[in-house]
Amino acid sequence: MSDLVIDGAVEARANVNIALIKYWGKAPADRPEDKNLPAVPSLSLTLDGLYTVTQVAFDPEADTDRVFLGGVELDAAGTARARVILDRVRALADVAAPFRVDSVNHVPTAAGLASSASSMAALAAASARCAGLDLDAGELSELARLGSGSASRSVFGGWVAWEGRRAHPVAPIDHWDLAVVIAVIGTGPKAIGSRAAMERTARTSPLYPGWVAQAHETFTDALSALERRDFEALVGAMERSTMRMHASALGADPPVLYWQAASVAVLREVERMRADGLACGFTMDAGPNVKVFCAGADVEAVSRRLTPIPGVAHTFVARPGEGVSVRLVNQERP
């Protein structure tokens, strides 16, 4: 039996991350602990200032887990997603008591950055510690992955690779002074969520096997470019991964198209900036927003070029950030 932290709560804070080399598609899962195993390796940068703070405590009075986001209790589907992690923590710690989870996202909804990575990484770290588990970062990454695949990467700061069961850090925050300018684009019709979209792509797109077949080479190209700080090679690999991910999704039945006209306008402006000698490169995820990587010193020049584009609501800048952190709260007994 574990050394339970039952007289207080544990608080964890985790940042979102952005993938340069994309996770899109899962390996088959036979056991609960095989959930969200990726079909392809991915590479990400954890971002500063866009994060989730989550408090977890045991709630022996309750008969089931209760999960609150921004003070509002989640419905059964939302709670079920968190429970995948909570059930695993209970199994590892050999405890049965329900948890109470209070989570707040500091990721603007309009930012178009999925908060599932930061939420599930924070939930994994807080609940494991609350149950007295002393997991190392790799074990925590595996636990976070059960809630959301991309959460496996948010456990670590800086540049992170994810292959197989867990992610691992590949370069620290100060390895390279790069930043991301995010062009927020009006949402248009409601997009299909990434979990359903990648499942549909894998099941119905004739382009999916091609996506999987090229993924490892694109990933190793990006790792090598990152190691030698070769910006052109890094954004080349990032843009190939982005376009091939979206191409595989376009081939699904029915097709998955995340782009708006303004998304394409931003991609064209990236081409023009490069032609003008301003080094930058784009990526896109499961939505219309475009994220443009550039040198830290060039964020204002890039923002000035993206902000006036029709259909771009606004831009904001994100820089490399830390991995998950945990602290105990309310430890004193009454």
Q: Which residues bind ligand 2P0 (CB under 6 A)?
A: 19, 22-24, 36, 42, 114, 116, 148-150, 194-195, 285-286
Q: Please, what is the minimum distance in Å from the beta carbon of residue 40 to ligand 2P0?
A: 9
Residue 40 one-letter amino acid: V
- In whole angstroms, give the CA distance from residue 156 to residue 163: 14
Residue closer to ligand 2P0 (CB basis): 213 or 329: 213
Residue closer to ligand 2P0 (CB basis): 93 or 267: 267
Residue closer to ligand 2P0 (CB basis): 38 or 98: 38
Residue closer to ligand 2P0 (CB basis): 22 or 244: 22
Provide the terminal-to-terminal Cα distance of the chain, rounded to the nearest Å: 25
Q: Please, what is the minimum distance in Å from the beta carbon of residue 118 to ligand 2P0?
A: 11
**CA neighbor of 33 nearest in space, from 144, 122, 130:** 144
Q: Please, what is the minimum distance in Å from the beta carbon of residue 101 to ligand 2P0?
A: 17
Both tokens of 316, joined, read: 């904001």
Q: Please, what is the minimum distance in Å from the beta carbon of residue 317 to ligand 2P0?
A: 19
109 exposed, middle or buried (CB, 10 Å; 0-12, 13-18, 19+)? exposed
Q: Please, what is the minimum distance in Å from the beta carbon of residue 22 to ligand 2P0?
A: 4
Q: Please, what is the minimum distance in Å from the beta carbon of residue 163 to ligand 2P0?
A: 12
Q: Residue 216 CB: number of other CB atoms within 10 A?
A: 13
Residue closer to ligand 2P0 (CB basis): 2 or 187: 187
Residue closer to ligand 2P0 (CB basis): 9 or 183: 183
**CA neighbor of 205 nearest in space, from 163, 259, 245, 263:** 245
* Pair 288, 262: CB distance under 8 Å: yes
**CA neighbor of 19 nearest in space, from 109, 90, 88, 114:** 114
